């Protein structure tokens, strides 16, 4: 039993799960800081930081890019259940994954998902505040640390799947000298 637990919780997985918890805690702390310390309690409350980055309070009743808006209590709880199910799936994936960079990407996604799930569960919406802009042009919707972590995690997984994964598949598909020698002996 202990050997199985040791194999399950490899160093990379423990680091990944710890990183997920740190992201979750930092996300919740930042949201509290923005609302309670900086006083951005109402939608549209604004705190300028840099010429291209401000804190602007908004509530996101949907998921990624504001899609699937929860306009009723049933939809709210449906989103909580859906995102909790996705987070559980990501956790299982982390526990089965062996590649460190994939674990890193999944950990970012898990930490961000947990931060947004807690908001949606306790408030009915997700607090967003990070407002990147170039003059009046806003290339992104207002987001939060959890959203940023999820995005970076997805980019890592996509990069590895599209570029790194192909190299591993190609290397595995090529026969080795031992394989070809064994095939010739059977003939």
Cα→Cα distances 57→33, 46, 145, 158, Å: 12, 7, 13, 30
Contact between 60 and 125 (Cβ < 8 Å): yes
Look at residues 63, 150, 86 and name the one whose alpha carbon lies nearest to residue 112: 150
- The verdict on whether 186 is a catalytic residue reads no
128 is an active site residue: yes
Catalytic option among 147, 173, 178, 186: 147
The catalytic residue among 27, 102, 119, 128 is 128
Pair 20, 26: CB distance under 8 Å:
no
Report, as residue numbers or ranges, the catalytic residues: 128, 147
């Amino acid at each position: 039993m202990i050997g199985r637990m040791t194999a399950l919780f490899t160093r990379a997985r423990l680091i990944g799960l710890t990183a997920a918890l740190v992201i979750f805690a930092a996300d919740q702390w930042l949201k509290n800081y923005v609302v309670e310390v900086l006083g951005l309690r109402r939608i549209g409350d604004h705190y300028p930081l840099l010429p291209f980055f401000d804190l602007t309070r908004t509530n996101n009743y949907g998921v990624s890019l504001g899609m699937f808006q929860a306009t009723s209590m049933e939809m709210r709880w449906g989103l909580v259940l859906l995102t909790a199910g996705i987070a559980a799936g990501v956790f299982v994936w982390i526990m089965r994954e062996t590649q460190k960079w994939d674990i890193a990407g999944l950990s970012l996604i898990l930490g961000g998902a947990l931060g947004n799930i807690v908001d949606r569960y306790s408030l009915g919406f997700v607090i967003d505040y990070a407002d990147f802009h170039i003059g009046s042009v806003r290339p992104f919707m207002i987001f939060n640390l959890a959203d940023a972590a999820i995005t970076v995690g997805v980019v890592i997984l996509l990069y590895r799947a599209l570029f790194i994964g192909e190299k591993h598949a190609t290397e595995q598909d090529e026969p080795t000298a031992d394989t070809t020698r064994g095939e010739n002996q059977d003939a």
